[in-house]
Amino acid sequence: MTPASPHRIPPAPLLRAQGLVKTHHGAGAPAHAVRGVDLTVHRGEFVAVTGPSGAGKSTLLHLLGGLQRPDSGSLWLDGAPTDAYTEARWAVARRKHIGIVFQFFNLVSNLSVADNVELPALLAGTTPKRARAEREALLAELGLAGKERSMPGELSGGEQQRVALARALVNHPPLLLADEPAGSLDSKGTREVMRLLTGFHQRGQTIVLVTHDARLASAADRVISFFDGRIADDAELTGAPARHAGISAVLELKG
Ligand SMILES: Nc1ncnc2c1ncn2[C@@H]1O[C@H](COP(=O)(O)OP(=O)(O)OP(=O)(O)O)[C@@H](O)[C@H]1O
């Protein structure tokens, strides 16, 4: 008698959002930035979220990275519910599981390039020797060897964004979130960011990229059109038909 084959449980999606809603209450009328988003991202995917200015793309990315809290809805990271996460717990989750790059780099201006990149590794408990080795490898890979002692203000925009990428990836997070990473760069810088994101993706990095730049979005293998706080379309770029052309539907992809 052959032994019964063990049931194989498929891995949980890296990211799953259900019913996310976020309204900003500023000085003017409330801004209904995210109006009910269901989204599943599996390991290895490169997802671009595109849409017009004000559609709510950045707000969605901030919700996915725990930088803002939804008014309602739930989010799972690697199968773990995050609804009860405190700010401190989110900070730990980001340090280990989520790298984030922003349009304006957000580097610490009075720290050197080397220290900017090593800091998140040290905060995550990596030994100084290992943090240094990780930093050296990443900066070399990103074409920044020799810039270790430079201060961020001494670098070009493209170089600063590469430092920001190194900082985001130094802890090998399973998920990279990028919010308009080429938004303040010229076309050469944009091409460079595209090349780097594509390279990391080809080596297995899961990426969710927010951009209004069609060129950058074309580097992804799945493009979500975001409009008025909702997913209006969700399509693979390989020529496959759109998986979703409505709003607020659960997306179960590549299951
Ligand atoms: N902190 C905030 N306070 C008040 N309103 C906000 C805040 N952040 C965003 N909004 C509003 O929420 C809506 C969505 O903004 P969001 O930045 O998410 O859109 P976006 O698609 O990323 O736009 P863009 O492409 O111009 O960056 C807009 O109407 C914006 O004015």
Transcribe 76-137 into DSSP letters. EETTEE-TT--HHHHHHHHHHHEEEE-TT----TTS-HHHHHHHHHHHTT--HHHHHHHHHH
Within-domain flag for 255: no
Compute the distance between CA of residue 66 and CA of residue 15 in angstroms, rounded to an integer: 12
Contact 57, 2 (CB under 8 A): no
Supply the residue whose CA is at minimum distance from atom 12 of ligand 1: 33
Within-domain flag for 252: no
Contact 201, 232 (CB under 8 A): no
Name the nearest CA neighbour of 21 among 68, 54, 65: 68
Average pLDDT over residues 148-169: 95
Number of domains in the chain: 1
Cβ < 6 A, ligand 1 pocket: 24, 26, 31, 33, 51, 53-59, 212
Between 240 and 80, the higher pLDDT residue: 80
At 60, the pLDDT band (50, 70, 90 cuts) reads very high
Compute the distance between CA of residue 163 and CA of residue 167 in angstroms, rounded to an integer: 6
DSSP conformational letter for 9: P
Strand partners, 187: none
Within-domain flag for 60: yes
189-215 pLDDT, tens digit per residue, is 888 999 999 999 999 999 999 998 888
Q: What are phi and psi of 191, to 5 degrees?
A: -60, -40
106-144 pLDDT, tens digit per residue, is 999 999 999 999 999 999 999 999 999 999 999 999 999
Taking the centre of ligand 1 as the mean of its atom positions, its distance from the CA of residue 60, in whole angstroms, is 10
228-255 pLDDT, tens digit per residue, is 999 999 988 764 434 443 333 323 323 2
Contact 176, 205 (CB under 8 A): yes
- Domain containing 154 equals 15-236
Structure-block tokens of residue 84: 């009860």
CATH code: domain of residue 214: 3.40.50.300
Within-domain flag for 5: no
Pocket test for ligand 1, best of 21, 23, 24, 226 (most atoms within 8 A of CB): 24
How high is the ipTM of this complex?
A: 0.97
pLDDT of residue 254: 32
At 8, the pLDDT band (50, 70, 90 cuts) reads confident
Supply the residue whose CA is at minimum distance from atom 11 of ligand 1: 31
Taking the centre of ligand 1 as the mean of its atom positions, its distance from the CA of residue 77, in whole angstroms, is 24
Strand 15-24 with 31-41, pairing: antiparallel
Taking the centre of ligand 1 as the mean of its atom positions, its distance from the CA of residue 61, in whole angstroms, is 11
Within-domain flag for 253: no
pLDDT of residue 147: 95
